Amino acid sequence: MTTAFVFPGQGSQTVGMGKSLAETFTSARRVFDEVDAALGERLSDVVWNGPAETLTLTENAQPALMAVSLAVMGVLEAEAGIDLRRDAAFVAGHSLGEYSALAAAQSLSIADAARLLRIRGRAMQKAVPVGVGAMAAVIGIELDDVKAVAAEAAGVGVCAAANDNGGGQVVLSGEKAAVERAVEVAKTRGAKRAMLLPVSAPFHCSLMQPAADAMAEALAKVSIKPPVVPLVANVLARPITDPADIVRHLVEQVTGTVRWRESILFMAQAGVTSFYEVGAGRVLTGLIKRIADGATASSIGTPDDITRFKAERG
Protein backbone atom coordinates (compact mmCIF):
# COMPACT_ATOMS: atom_id res chain seq x y z
CA MET A 1 0.00 0.00 0.00
CA THR A 2 1.45 3.35 -1.06
CA THR A 3 -1.10 5.87 0.25
CA ALA A 4 -1.55 7.72 3.55
CA PHE A 5 -4.33 10.07 4.61
CA VAL A 6 -3.35 12.91 6.94
CA PHE A 7 -5.48 15.38 8.88
CA PRO A 8 -4.72 19.05 9.65
CA GLY A 9 -4.43 20.78 13.01
CA GLN A 10 -5.23 24.16 14.50
CA GLY A 11 -4.40 27.16 12.35
CA SER A 12 -5.98 25.71 9.20
CA GLN A 13 -9.46 26.99 10.10
CA THR A 14 -11.23 29.58 7.94
CA VAL A 15 -14.81 30.84 8.04
CA GLY A 16 -16.81 29.02 5.38
CA MET A 17 -14.74 25.84 5.36
CA GLY A 18 -16.77 22.79 4.44
CA LYS A 19 -19.87 24.78 3.49
CA SER A 20 -19.81 23.93 -0.21
CA LEU A 21 -19.26 20.28 0.67
CA ALA A 22 -22.31 20.24 2.94
CA GLU A 23 -24.40 22.00 0.28
CA THR A 24 -23.30 19.52 -2.39
CA PHE A 25 -23.16 16.18 -0.57
CA THR A 26 -25.62 14.78 1.97
CA SER A 27 -22.81 12.60 3.37
CA ALA A 28 -20.94 15.76 4.35
CA ARG A 29 -24.01 17.46 5.79
CA ARG A 30 -24.65 14.39 7.90
CA VAL A 31 -21.26 14.76 9.61
CA PHE A 32 -21.87 18.41 10.52
CA ASP A 33 -25.31 17.48 11.89
CA GLU A 34 -23.74 14.74 14.00
CA VAL A 35 -21.13 17.12 15.44
CA ASP A 36 -23.82 19.74 16.19
CA ALA A 37 -25.91 17.12 17.98
CA ALA A 38 -22.93 15.84 19.99
CA LEU A 39 -22.06 19.34 21.19
CA GLY A 40 -25.65 20.44 21.70
CA GLU A 41 -25.15 23.58 19.64
CA ARG A 42 -24.93 24.76 16.03
CA LEU A 43 -21.17 24.81 15.66
CA SER A 44 -21.74 24.51 11.90
CA ASP A 45 -23.23 28.04 11.90
CA VAL A 46 -20.00 29.40 13.36
CA VAL A 47 -17.91 27.35 10.92
CA TRP A 48 -19.78 28.61 7.87
CA ASN A 49 -20.74 32.12 8.90
CA GLY A 50 -18.29 33.21 11.60
CA PRO A 51 -17.41 35.49 13.18
CA ALA A 52 -13.77 34.53 12.73
CA GLU A 53 -12.85 35.37 16.32
CA THR A 54 -15.45 32.88 17.57
CA LEU A 55 -14.29 30.13 15.21
CA THR A 56 -10.66 30.75 16.19
CA LEU A 57 -11.35 30.06 19.88
CA THR A 58 -9.52 26.83 20.63
CA GLU A 59 -12.65 25.14 21.99
CA ASN A 60 -14.41 25.79 18.66
CA ALA A 61 -11.54 25.47 16.18
CA GLN A 62 -10.61 21.96 17.30
CA PRO A 63 -13.99 20.22 16.85
CA ALA A 64 -14.68 22.38 13.77
CA LEU A 65 -11.56 21.23 11.96
CA MET A 66 -12.36 17.64 12.84
CA ALA A 67 -15.89 18.09 11.46
CA VAL A 68 -14.57 19.37 8.13
CA SER A 69 -12.04 16.53 7.84
CA LEU A 70 -14.66 13.89 8.59
CA ALA A 71 -17.13 15.52 6.21
CA VAL A 72 -14.52 15.22 3.45
CA MET A 73 -13.82 11.63 4.47
CA GLY A 74 -17.54 10.85 4.35
CA VAL A 75 -17.73 12.16 0.79
CA LEU A 76 -14.65 10.21 -0.26
CA GLU A 77 -16.28 7.05 1.06
CA ALA A 78 -19.69 7.75 -0.48
CA GLU A 79 -18.66 9.28 -3.81
CA ALA A 80 -15.19 7.86 -4.52
CA GLY A 81 -15.56 4.45 -2.91
CA ILE A 82 -12.65 4.97 -0.51
CA ASP A 83 -12.21 2.28 2.12
CA LEU A 84 -9.26 2.97 4.39
CA ARG A 85 -8.82 -0.74 5.11
CA ARG A 86 -8.06 -1.28 1.44
CA ASP A 87 -6.83 2.11 0.29
CA ALA A 88 -4.43 3.34 2.98
CA ALA A 89 -1.28 2.12 4.65
CA PHE A 90 -1.47 4.68 7.48
CA VAL A 91 -3.38 7.63 8.86
CA ALA A 92 -1.84 10.50 10.81
CA GLY A 93 -2.94 13.88 12.10
CA HIS A 94 -1.18 17.02 13.28
CA SER A 95 -2.03 17.55 16.97
CA LEU A 96 -5.86 17.69 17.11
CA GLY A 97 -5.75 16.01 13.70
CA GLU A 98 -4.98 12.74 15.47
CA TYR A 99 -8.58 12.71 16.67
CA SER A 100 -9.76 13.26 13.08
CA ALA A 101 -7.50 10.43 11.91
CA LEU A 102 -8.82 8.09 14.60
CA ALA A 103 -12.44 8.92 13.76
CA ALA A 104 -11.73 8.37 10.05
CA ALA A 105 -10.20 5.00 10.93
CA GLN A 106 -13.26 4.05 13.02
CA SER A 107 -11.34 4.00 16.28
CA LEU A 108 -13.43 6.86 17.71
CA SER A 109 -17.00 7.82 16.85
CA ILE A 110 -17.46 11.26 15.31
CA ALA A 111 -19.62 12.28 18.28
CA ASP A 112 -16.99 11.22 20.81
CA ALA A 113 -14.24 12.94 18.82
CA ALA A 114 -16.26 16.17 18.82
CA ARG A 115 -16.89 16.04 22.57
CA LEU A 116 -13.27 15.14 23.34
CA LEU A 117 -11.95 18.01 21.22
CA ARG A 118 -14.32 20.46 22.92
CA ILE A 119 -12.93 19.30 26.29
CA ARG A 120 -9.38 19.39 24.93
CA GLY A 121 -9.75 22.89 23.54
CA ARG A 122 -11.21 24.29 26.75
CA ALA A 123 -8.64 22.53 28.93
CA MET A 124 -5.70 23.72 26.82
CA GLN A 125 -6.95 27.30 26.91
CA LYS A 126 -7.58 27.17 30.66
CA ALA A 127 -4.24 25.53 31.55
CA VAL A 128 -2.23 28.76 31.30
CA PRO A 129 -3.52 32.32 31.88
CA VAL A 130 -3.53 34.48 28.75
CA GLY A 131 -0.25 36.36 28.44
CA VAL A 132 1.79 33.94 30.56
CA GLY A 133 2.77 31.62 27.73
CA ALA A 134 3.91 32.04 24.13
CA MET A 135 4.95 30.10 21.03
CA ALA A 136 7.48 30.96 18.36
CA ALA A 137 8.48 29.58 14.97
CA VAL A 138 12.16 29.06 14.26
CA ILE A 139 13.04 28.61 10.58
CA GLY A 140 16.29 27.59 8.96
CA ILE A 141 18.04 25.51 11.63
CA GLU A 142 17.55 21.85 12.49
CA LEU A 143 15.76 20.28 15.45
CA ASP A 144 18.86 19.59 17.53
CA ASP A 145 20.00 23.19 17.14
CA VAL A 146 16.56 24.45 18.15
CA LYS A 147 16.59 22.15 21.19
CA ALA A 148 19.91 23.73 22.19
CA VAL A 149 18.31 27.17 21.83
CA ALA A 150 15.40 26.05 24.01
CA ALA A 151 17.77 24.66 26.64
CA GLU A 152 19.57 27.99 26.86
CA ALA A 153 16.30 29.94 27.05
CA ALA A 154 14.98 27.59 29.74
CA GLY A 155 17.21 29.46 32.18
CA VAL A 156 14.43 32.04 32.46
CA GLY A 157 11.44 29.67 32.27
CA VAL A 158 9.85 26.70 30.52
CA CYS A 159 10.85 26.44 26.84
CA ALA A 160 10.59 23.32 24.67
CA ALA A 161 10.22 22.15 21.08
CA ALA A 162 6.47 21.83 20.50
CA ASN A 163 6.29 20.95 16.80
CA ASP A 164 9.00 19.55 14.55
CA ASN A 165 7.13 20.42 11.37
CA GLY A 166 9.88 19.73 8.86
CA GLY A 167 11.29 21.85 6.10
CA GLY A 168 13.53 23.54 8.64
CA GLN A 169 10.58 24.75 10.74
CA VAL A 170 10.41 24.04 14.46
CA VAL A 171 7.92 25.65 16.84
CA LEU A 172 8.89 26.44 20.44
CA SER A 173 6.47 26.71 23.34
CA GLY A 174 6.69 27.80 26.96
CA GLU A 175 6.67 30.76 29.29
CA LYS A 176 6.65 34.07 27.47
CA ALA A 177 9.96 35.41 28.78
CA ALA A 178 11.75 32.18 27.91
CA VAL A 179 10.26 31.98 24.40
CA GLU A 180 11.15 35.61 23.76
CA ARG A 181 14.69 34.82 24.89
CA ALA A 182 14.76 31.81 22.54
CA VAL A 183 13.80 34.02 19.59
CA GLU A 184 16.81 36.23 20.23
CA VAL A 185 19.17 33.29 20.79
CA ALA A 186 17.97 31.52 17.62
CA LYS A 187 18.87 34.57 15.53
CA THR A 188 22.45 34.34 16.80
CA ARG A 189 22.57 30.59 16.00
CA GLY A 190 21.88 30.95 12.28
CA ALA A 191 18.08 30.89 12.10
CA LYS A 192 16.77 32.55 8.95
CA ARG A 193 13.72 33.71 10.88
CA ALA A 194 12.50 33.46 14.46
CA MET A 195 9.20 35.05 15.42
CA LEU A 196 6.47 34.89 18.05
CA LEU A 197 3.22 33.34 16.84
CA PRO A 198 -0.27 34.80 17.38
CA VAL A 199 -1.57 31.99 19.61
CA SER A 200 -3.59 32.11 22.79
CA ALA A 201 -1.74 29.44 24.78
CA PRO A 202 1.62 27.58 24.85
CA PHE A 203 0.60 24.23 23.38
CA HIS A 204 2.66 21.02 23.53
CA CYS A 205 4.87 21.82 26.50
CA SER A 206 4.87 20.97 30.20
CA LEU A 207 2.68 23.98 31.01
CA MET A 208 -0.18 21.99 29.42
CA GLN A 209 -0.10 19.30 32.14
CA PRO A 210 -3.51 20.33 33.56
CA ALA A 211 -4.98 19.79 30.09
CA ALA A 212 -3.26 16.41 29.81
CA ASP A 213 -4.84 15.42 33.13
CA ALA A 214 -8.26 16.53 31.84
CA MET A 215 -7.81 14.44 28.69
CA ALA A 216 -6.77 11.37 30.67
CA GLU A 217 -10.03 11.66 32.60
CA ALA A 218 -12.13 12.27 29.49
CA LEU A 219 -10.55 9.51 27.41
CA ALA A 220 -11.10 6.99 30.20
CA LYS A 221 -14.86 7.39 29.67
CA VAL A 222 -14.81 6.81 25.90
CA SER A 223 -14.86 3.60 23.87
CA ILE A 224 -11.82 3.39 21.61
CA LYS A 225 -11.46 0.54 19.12
CA PRO A 226 -8.40 -0.58 17.17
CA PRO A 227 -8.25 1.62 14.06
CA VAL A 228 -8.86 -0.12 10.73
CA VAL A 229 -5.49 1.24 9.57
CA PRO A 230 -2.49 2.06 11.83
CA LEU A 231 -2.18 5.56 13.27
CA VAL A 232 1.31 7.08 13.10
CA ALA A 233 1.32 8.80 16.50
CA ASN A 234 2.64 12.34 16.94
CA VAL A 235 4.75 11.59 20.00
CA LEU A 236 6.24 8.36 18.61
CA ALA A 237 6.51 8.93 14.86
CA ARG A 238 5.62 5.23 14.69
CA PRO A 239 2.37 3.34 14.05
CA ILE A 240 0.08 2.13 16.82
CA THR A 241 -3.21 0.21 16.84
CA ASP A 242 -3.75 -0.88 20.46
CA PRO A 243 -6.50 1.20 22.15
CA ALA A 244 -4.56 1.44 25.44
CA ASP A 245 -1.54 2.77 23.55
CA ILE A 246 -3.74 5.23 21.67
CA VAL A 247 -5.16 6.63 24.91
CA ARG A 248 -1.74 6.90 26.55
CA HIS A 249 -0.20 8.71 23.60
CA LEU A 250 -3.16 11.06 23.12
CA VAL A 251 -2.60 12.16 26.73
CA GLU A 252 1.17 12.46 26.24
CA GLN A 253 0.62 14.45 23.06
CA VAL A 254 -0.89 17.39 24.98
CA THR A 255 2.49 18.14 26.60
CA GLY A 256 4.75 16.36 24.11
CA THR A 257 6.39 17.29 20.82
CA VAL A 258 4.47 16.79 17.59
CA ARG A 259 7.08 14.83 15.63
CA TRP A 260 5.58 15.57 12.23
CA ARG A 261 8.80 15.51 10.19
CA GLU A 262 9.76 12.12 11.58
CA SER A 263 6.22 10.80 11.09
CA ILE A 264 6.22 11.69 7.40
CA LEU A 265 9.72 10.29 6.93
CA PHE A 266 8.66 7.05 8.60
CA MET A 267 5.70 6.64 6.26
CA ALA A 268 7.78 7.52 3.20
CA GLN A 269 10.45 5.02 4.21
CA ALA A 270 7.70 2.42 4.74
CA GLY A 271 6.71 2.83 1.09
CA VAL A 272 4.10 5.59 1.07
CA THR A 273 4.39 7.62 -2.14
CA SER A 274 1.05 9.49 -2.10
CA PHE A 275 -0.19 11.64 0.78
CA TYR A 276 -3.67 13.17 0.88
CA GLU A 277 -4.45 15.98 3.32
CA VAL A 278 -8.11 15.59 4.25
CA GLY A 279 -9.93 18.72 5.42
CA ALA A 280 -9.29 22.45 5.62
CA GLY A 281 -6.28 24.16 4.10
CA ARG A 282 -3.00 23.00 2.60
CA VAL A 283 -0.54 23.38 5.48
CA LEU A 284 0.38 19.70 5.73
CA THR A 285 0.59 19.34 1.95
CA GLY A 286 3.28 22.03 1.86
CA LEU A 287 5.20 20.47 4.74
CA ILE A 288 5.09 16.98 3.22
CA LYS A 289 6.48 18.23 -0.09
CA ARG A 290 9.48 19.63 1.77
CA ILE A 291 10.00 16.50 3.87
CA ALA A 292 9.45 13.51 1.60
CA ASP A 293 11.47 13.69 -1.61
CA GLY A 294 9.73 11.92 -4.46
CA ALA A 295 6.35 11.63 -2.73
CA THR A 296 3.26 13.42 -3.99
CA ALA A 297 1.01 15.39 -1.66
CA SER A 298 -2.33 17.04 -2.34
CA SER A 299 -5.23 18.42 -0.33
CA ILE A 300 -8.88 17.40 -0.49
CA GLY A 301 -11.31 19.90 1.01
CA THR A 302 -13.78 21.12 -1.64
CA PRO A 303 -16.17 19.60 -4.20
CA ASP A 304 -13.65 20.46 -6.93
CA ASP A 305 -10.97 18.57 -5.01
CA ILE A 306 -13.29 15.56 -4.81
CA THR A 307 -13.85 15.70 -8.58
CA ARG A 308 -10.12 15.88 -9.21
CA PHE A 309 -9.42 13.02 -6.82
CA LYS A 310 -11.98 10.79 -8.55
CA ALA A 311 -10.50 11.62 -11.96
CA GLU A 312 -6.99 10.81 -10.77
CA ARG A 313 -8.13 7.43 -9.50
CA GLY A 314 -9.84 6.68 -12.81
Q: What's the Cα-to-Cα distance from 308 to each of 18, 26, 84, rounded to whole Å?
A: 17, 19, 19
**Residue 38 CB contacts under 8 Å (≥ 6 apart), including other chains:** 110, 111, 112, 114, 115
Q: Decide if 95 is catalytic.
A: yes
How many whole angstroms separate alpha carbon 263 and alpha carbon 181?
A: 29
d(CA 50, CA 56): 9
DSSP H/E element including 119:
helix 110-127
> What amino acid is encoded at 125 in this protein?
Q
CB 10 within 8 Å of CB 97: no
* Of 18, 20, 51, 49, residue with least CA distance to 35: 18
Q: Which of 12, 44, 204, 263 is catalytic?
A: 204
Identified catalytic residue from 12, 95, 100, 299? 95
Number of helical (H) and strand (E) elements in the chain, helices listed first: 15, 10
- Residues designated as active site: 95, 204
